[in-house]
């Protein structure tokens, strides 16, 4: 279909008529709004977009959009999206999910999606809690958070640092947004979709139900990335990661986790060597030739 | 002392040796030479656990007609040395009619081998190889064995060129010099002439894993994602360069969880997708297979089974994953389970399984195993699977460009472009119930049919729903589309042979599945020579079970269910389905040894002591007995 035939769409045209299950005040409403704004800005036809998710509050996003979508397994949004994009490079493929889905059960896929650098936009709505299962600690929960009955003494484990781990794993685009700033977030998502490679958008998206006390301060605490760089001592205290004296300040130690903007953006790496992608359109001729070789 | 197999027409030879001795290479050359002489054959390999260069044995059976199993005995063993031979003692199946060729310089024949009573003949493999610059003992073995097997020298030399083609010319020349010298020493044997029959020239020599890869290409699979695992990796390695030539994409995934979900993503995108794995990987994939079932996204998972449980026997075979394939998914999750019956049938059944999954929008699990996957065979080119309509597409008839694009991408799949529903609405009913239970499925990129596939219980629109009526409606659809489909005659291979329309009281059905088919079929042939009415049935479609057709096929016969697992998984399944008569018995024993025809015959005679006397009523002695523990695992 020629682009001229596509009527221009408003952000709300990308929404389905399915009503979100989210709690009042949930940060994810802002993310959904930012995503539809980005799609409208980019003028992507709805049928050329596929939004893929796993399981969790934020993974409900595909059902709320009037695009192609797949609400798959807990933790497996990235491989499903990877398979779709590899098979159908003509589509705009976006994966959405939460911190538990993406960094705990799906953590391995996150590392390898960063490495593989396939052309996906991955939006993680991080509220540092498992909401759908009613309030357990997630990988990004601070170690001393004691409000979960499952971990009454806190997890005692330093929090997962998504942006730093994405950087270490080879992601070519890393951004952080805040659900309370849908305009800024929309711009980041737009840039992420346009980035020709794996684009990770880490979104601070508060949970009003299970983390009301801790996360209500985010609105005041967030700041443009780079404005507040941790000192080495603070970084050590914050992350329990020691740094060698004289080490270069870097995202992986001195990010306070609240800086918004594009944290990292490089040209896409060399084409993935883990895949073989053919171009021959004549399947039958290829099959005939392969069968003929078997007679040799 | 050779040609001792029952029909005096086939011969089984083995080459064994420690790491680096080239036993497998010798086997490949002999198989290729036999092919050049118009013989059929197959070669099983058995290897130790070493990553590289471990001891190994090639067991090779050749004959004038299709060879489907390794036979009862190794007629001729060439032992290049004896290191770690005890690991293969069970596989080698030597007896007093066997002949062992061994190198005196490698030490005495080990007691466990000598106890077989086989004739021993020393051959100076090593010293004779040393007479040639760069010569190797395994090539002396090729010459000697080739001569004993009646293979002409030229066929051996041509086969050497074909098998060693990528080696340095000097190495190939040395190999050929060794083979020629050793072959001369066997002069006087009756030689086969190189075959000039066109049919023989068109035969293929390939492994079951390669055949399975070919089946995927024939099914027009466009996407493969997989994680390496023994013994399935060869299917993926065979496919990687060829799928690329056919325009497809292959991804090496970070694990099996990723692989199966990548398949679902590609298939959601409209591209037929296949993966291959083995038991541990199948365990990791089961959640994803359930998602494919629930979201009605076609995928095919090929399980090249190995011995289990857990890490089990990675390099050896067992048919012990049937329960997992049938019952491993949580919830009621109707899906397809298929099993190929021989090396060539891997191509047929993979193609059929993929096409059925596409048509029925479901997951298919295919149970190959190490005994099929890593066996190389000379076979007639396997037939194509029966025609199956392609995926039922949802597409607006007005968007001709889209229709053309889909047709172009999948030119031979006969895509069904007349969907039940062609009217796009705001809420396209992706999962709408239909007469055949198959709902038209749009390919992303088709305007007006946007929908969200879901592993949550959903309504006809795909919207998550926990309502009881939606659950019942959708579950009914999932079950109905599988049972309503007409699978034709491909559900089983039935060799009815001399069975009368009204079978005699003593008529026997040997019922099996998968890699046990070859030995069962040969047992059937031999039992007929004893005057018995016997048929063999190899199930290719295990789920949904073709209950009525199977009941009809075994009607009036005494049934022995044969399989290589300890617990009688097929036997129990068929009993749960109430398809077997009460008198049916099981011959189930664990792997990893390949099934031999004589085992089946012996088991039958043990269960039916009168059967070989052709007495009526032999089955009545056992009628009404419940399954005894001694019957399952009765071989041990």
Beta-carbon contacts of B549 under 8 Å, excluding residues fewer than 6 positions away, are B491, B492
A 40-69 near B (Cβ less than 8 A): 45-48, 50-52, 62-63, 65-69
Q: Using 50, 70 and 90 to split pLDDT, how confident is the model at B360? A: very high
* pLDDT tens sequence across B599-624: 999 999 888 755 444 443 333 333 33
The confidence score (pLDDT) of residue A169 equals 93
pLDDT at A7: 61
- Where is pLDDT greater, at B587 or A282? B587
Cα separation, A161 vs A202, in Å, equals 10
In this complex, do B217 and A290 lie within 8 Å of one another by their Cβ atoms? yes
The pLDDT > 70 percentage for chain A reads: 84
A284 contact residues in B (CB cutoff 8 A): 411-412
CB B285 within 8 A of CB B301: yes
- Quote the CATH superfamily of domain B11-199: Pyruvate-ferredoxin oxidoreductase, PFOR, domain III (3.40.920.10)
**Nearest-by-CA chain A residue for B202:** A295
For position A250, what pLDDT does the model report? 56
Does any CB of chain B come closer than 8 Å to the CB of residue A284?
A: yes
Cβ–Cβ gap B444/A50 under 8 Å: yes
Q: Decide if B269 and A83 are in contact by the 8 Å CB cutoff.
A: yes
A246, pLDDT greater than 70: no
**In sequence order, which residues have a C-beta less than 8 Å from that of residue A271 and are 6 or more positions away?**
none
Instruction: Check pLDDT > 90 for residue A226.
Output: no
Please state which architecture CATH assigns to domain B492-621.
3-Layer(aba) Sandwich (3.40)
All residues of chain B having their beta carbon less than 8 Å from the beta carbon of residue A294 are 204-206, 214, 381
Whole-number average pLDDT of chain B? 89
Nearest to B261 among A67, A79, A294 (CB): A79
| pLDDT reported for residue B189 | 57
Who among A69, A90, A280 is closest to B247 (CB)?
Answer: A280
Top pLDDT among B198 and A141 is at A141
Chain B residues in contact with A276 (beta carbon < 8 A) = 240-241, 243-244, 249-250
Q: How confident is the model at residue B277 (pLDDT cuts 50, 70, 90)?
A: very high
Cβ of A290 within 8 Å of Cβ of B246? The answer is: yes
Q: Do residues B520 and B526 touch, judged by C-beta distance below 8 A?
A: no
Domain A3-294, CATH 3.40.50.970 — does that match? yes
Q: CA–CA separation, B597 vs B529, rounded Å? A: 14
Tell me the torsion sign for CA atoms A132, A136, A140, A142. Answer: positive
Mean pLDDT of the B628-635 span? 40
Output A276 or B310, whichever has higher pLDDT. B310
Helix or strand holding residue A166 (H, E): helix A162-169
**CB contact residues (below 8 A), chain A span 3-42, against chain B:** 16-18
Note whether A278 and B248 are within 8 A (CB): yes
Q: Could B444 and A18 be called an inter-chain contact, meaning their C-beta atoms sit closer than 8 Å?
A: no
**A294: enclosing H helix or E strand:** helix A283-294
State whether residue A244 sits within 8 Å of chain B by CB: no
Give pLDDT, residue A1: 43
Lowest mean per-residue pLDDT among B108-122, B293-307, B400-414: B400-414
- A233 near B CB under 8 A: no
User: Residue for token digits 């996360």?
Assistant: A215
Domain segments of chain A: what residues?
A: 3-294
Burial of B195 by CB count in 10 Å (0-12 exposed, 13-18 middle, 19+ buried)?
A: middle
Residue of A nearest to B288 (CA): A73
CB < 8 Å to B270, chain A: 87-88
In the structure, what pLDDT confidence band is assigned to residue B61 with cuts at 50, 70 and 90?
very high
Contacts of A83 in chain B (CB under 8 A): 223, 225, 251, 261-267, 269, 273
pLDDT of residue A242: 47
Cβ contact B254–A112 (<8 Å):
yes
- In degrees rounded to 5, what are phi and psi of residue A30? -65, -35
Q: Which residue ranges does chain B devote to CATH 3.40.50.920?
A: 492-621
Contact at CB, B217 and A88, closer than 8 angstroms? no
Nearest alpha carbon to residue B317 among B98, B559, B69, B84: B69
* A79/B262 Cβ within 8 A: yes
Mean of the pLDDT values across residues B497-508? Answer: 89
Among partner residues B242, B266, B426, which is closest to A87 by beta-carbon distance? B266
Provide the 10 A C-beta neighbour count for residue B542: 24
Best of A70, A101, A280 to disrupt the B interface (most B CBs within 10 Å) is: A70
- Which of the pair, B553 or A230, is modelled with greater confidence? B553
Give the 3-state DSSP-derived string for B63-119, with helices as H, strands as E and coil as C: ECCCCCCCCCCCCEEEECCCCCHHHHHHHHCCCCCCEEEECHHHCCCCHHHHCCCCE
Q: Does pLDDT of B397 surpass 60?
A: no
With respect to CATH, is domain B205-379 assigned 3.40.50.970? yes
Taking an 8 Å cut-off on Cβ atoms, the answer to whether A83 and B223 are in contact is yes
* Closest residue on chain A to B220 (Cα): A283
Closest by CA position to B21, among listed B136, B128, B133 = B136
H/E segment holding residue A261: strand A259-265
Say which DSSP state A11 is in.
G
Which of the two residues, B2 and B351, has the higher pLDDT score?
A: B351
Contact criterion met (CB below 8 Å) for B271 and A296: no
Round to whole Å and give the CA distance between B315 and B53.
14
Average pLDDT over residues B493-514: 93
Report the C-alpha gap between B361 and B293 in whole angstroms. Answer: 8
DSSP structural state of residue A64: G
* Reported confidence tier of residue B627, pLDDT bands at 50, 70, 90: very low
Rounded average pLDDT over B159-176? 94
| Matching residue, tokens 């958070």 | A145
On the question of pLDDT at B237 being above 70, the answer is: yes
The answer to whether A63 contacts B464, with C-beta atoms less than 8 Å apart, is yes
Tell me, what's the pLDDT at A8?
82
Which pLDDT does position B83 carry in this prediction? 87
Confidence of residue A96 (pLDDT cuts 50, 70, 90): very high
Nearest CA distance, B383 vs chain A (angstrom): 12
For residue B592, say if its preceding peptide bond is cis, omega within 30 degrees of 0: yes
For residue A98, what are the contacts with CB-CB under 8 A and spacing of at least 6?
A56, A57, A58, A59, A124, A125, A126, A127, A131, A138
The verdict on a CB contact (< 8 Å) between B240 and A276 is yes
Question: What pLDDT is recorded for position B84?
Answer: 84
Q: What pLDDT shows up at residue B622?
A: 37
Residues 6+ apart with CB under 8 A from B608: B506, B508, B558, B618, B619, B621, B622
Residues B266, A290: C-beta atoms closer than 8 Å: no
Q: From CA B118, how far away is CA A137, in angstroms rounded? A: 68
> What is the DSSP track for B199-233?
HHHT-EEEEHHHHHHHHHHHTT--EEEE---TTTH
Averaged pLDDT for residues A204-219: 94
pLDDT value for A267: 82
Per-residue pLDDT, B85 = 86
Q: Which of B433, B69, B383 is nearest to B215 (CA)?
A: B383
């Amino acid at each position: 279909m020629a682009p001229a035939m596509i009527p221009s769409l408003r952000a709300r045209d990308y929404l389905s008529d399915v009503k979100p299950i989210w709690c009042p005040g949930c940060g994810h409403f802002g993310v959904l709004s930012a995503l539809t704004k980005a799609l409208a800005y980019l003028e992507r036809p709805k049928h050329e977009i596929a939004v893929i998710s796993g399981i969790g509050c934020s993974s409900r996003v595909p059902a709320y959009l009037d695009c192609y979508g797949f609400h798959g397994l807990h933790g497996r949004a990235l491989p499903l999206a990877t398979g779709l994009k590899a098979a159908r490079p003509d589509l705009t493929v976006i994966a959405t999910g939460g911190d538990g889905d993406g960094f705990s059960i799906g953590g391995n896929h996150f590392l390898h999606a960063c490495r593989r650098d396939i052309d996906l936009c991955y939006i993680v709505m991080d509220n540092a809690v498992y909401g759908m299962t009613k309030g357990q600690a997630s990988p990004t929960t601070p170690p001393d958070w004691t409000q979960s009955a499952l971990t009454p003494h806190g997890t005692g484990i330093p929090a997962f640092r998504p942006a730093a781990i994405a950087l270490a794993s080879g992601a070519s685009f890393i951004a952080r947004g805040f659900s309370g700033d849908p305009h800024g977030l929309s711009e980041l998502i737009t840039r992420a979709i346009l980035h020709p490679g794996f684009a990770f958008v880490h979104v601070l998206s508060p949970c009003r139900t299970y983390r009301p006390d801790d996360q209500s301060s985010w609105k005041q605490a967030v700041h443009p990335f780079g404005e507040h760089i941790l000192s080495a001592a603070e970084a050590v205290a914050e992350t329990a990661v020691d740094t060698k004296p004289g080490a270069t300040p870097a995202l992986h130690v001195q990010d306070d986790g609240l800086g918004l903007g594009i944290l990292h953006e490089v040209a896409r790496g060399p084409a993935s060597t883990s895949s073989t992608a053919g171009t021959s359109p004549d399947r039958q001729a290829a099959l005939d030739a392969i069968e003929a070789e078997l007679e040799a | 002392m050779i040609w001792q197999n029952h029909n005096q027409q086939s011969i089984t030879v083995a080459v064994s040796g420690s790491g680096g001795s080239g036993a497998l290479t010798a086997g490949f050359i002999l198989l290729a030479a036999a092919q050049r002489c118009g013989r059929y054959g197959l070669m099983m390999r058995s290897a130790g656990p070493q990553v590289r260069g471990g001891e190994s044995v090639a067991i090779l059976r050749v004959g004038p007609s299709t060879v489907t199993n390794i036979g009862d005995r190794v007629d001729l063993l060439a032992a290049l040395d004896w290191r770690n031979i005890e690991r293969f003692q069970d596989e080698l199946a030597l007896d007093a009619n066997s002949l062992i060729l061994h190198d005196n310089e490698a030490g005495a024949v080990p007691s466990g081998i000598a106890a077989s009573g086989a004739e021993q003949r020393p051959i100076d493999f090593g010293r004779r190889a040393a007479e040639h610059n760069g010569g190797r003992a395994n090539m002396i073995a090729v010459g000697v064995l080739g001569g004993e097997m009646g293979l002409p020298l030229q066929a051996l030399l041509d086969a050497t060129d074909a098998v060693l083609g990528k080696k340095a010319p000097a190495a190939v020349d040395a190999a050929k010099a060794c083979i020629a010298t050793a072959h001369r020493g066997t002069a006087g044997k009756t030689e086969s002439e190189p075959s000039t029959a066109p049919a023989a020239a068109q035969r293929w020599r390939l492994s079951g894993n390669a055949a399975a890869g070919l089946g995927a290409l024939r099914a027009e699979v466009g996407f493969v994602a997989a994680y390496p695992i023994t013994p399935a990796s060869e299917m993926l390695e065979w496919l990687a360069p060829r799928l690329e030539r056919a325009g497809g994409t292959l991804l090496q995934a970070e694990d099996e969880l990723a692989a199966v979900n990548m398949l679902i993503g590609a298939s959601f995108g409209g591209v037929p997708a296949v993966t291959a794995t083995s038991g541990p990987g199948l365990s990791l994939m089961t959640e994803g297979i359930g998602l494919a079932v629930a979201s009605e996204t076609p995928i095919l998972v090929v399980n090249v089974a190995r011995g289990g449980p857990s890490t089990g026997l990675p390099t050896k075979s067992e048919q012990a994953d049937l329960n997992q394939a049938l019952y491993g998914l949580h919830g009621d999750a109707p899906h397809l389970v298929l099993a190929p019956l021989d090396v060539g049938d891997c191509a047929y059944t993979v193609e059929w399984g993929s096409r059925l999954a596409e048509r029925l929008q479901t997951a298919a699990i295919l149970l190959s195993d190490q005994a099929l996957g890593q066996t190389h065979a000379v076979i007639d080119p396997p037939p194509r699977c029966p025609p199956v309509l392609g995926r039922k597409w949802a597409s607006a008839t007005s968007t001709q460009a889209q229709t053309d694009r889909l047709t172009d991408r999948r030119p031979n799949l006969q895509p069904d472009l007349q969907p039940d529903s062609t009217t796009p609405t705001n809420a396209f009913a992706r999962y709408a119930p239909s007469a055949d239970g198959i709902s038209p499925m749009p390919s992303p990129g088709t305007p007006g049919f946007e929908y969200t596939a879901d592993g949550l219980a959903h309504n006809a629109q795909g919207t998550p729903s926990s309502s009881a009526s939606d659950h019942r409606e959708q579950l009914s659809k999932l079950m109905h589309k599988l049972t309503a489909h007409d699978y034709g005659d491909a559900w089983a291979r039935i060799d009815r042979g001399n069975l009368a329309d009204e079978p005699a009281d003593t008529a026997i059905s040997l019922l099996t599945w998968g890699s046990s088919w070859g030995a069962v079929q040969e047992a059937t042939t031999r039992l007929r020579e004893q005057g018995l009415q016997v048929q063999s049935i190899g199930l290719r479609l295990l789920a949904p079970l073709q209950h009525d057709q199977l009941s009809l096929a075994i009607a009036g016969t005494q049934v022995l269910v044969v399989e290589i697992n300890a617990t009688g998984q097929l036997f129990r399944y068929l009993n749960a389905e109430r398809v077997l008569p009460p008198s049916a018995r099981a011959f189930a024993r664990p792997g990893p040894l390949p099934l031999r025809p004589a085992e089946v015959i012996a088991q039958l005679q043990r269960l039916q002591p009168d059967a070989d006397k052709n007495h009526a009523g032999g089955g009545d002695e056992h009628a009404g007995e419940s399954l005894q523990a001694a019957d399952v695992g009765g071989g041990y």
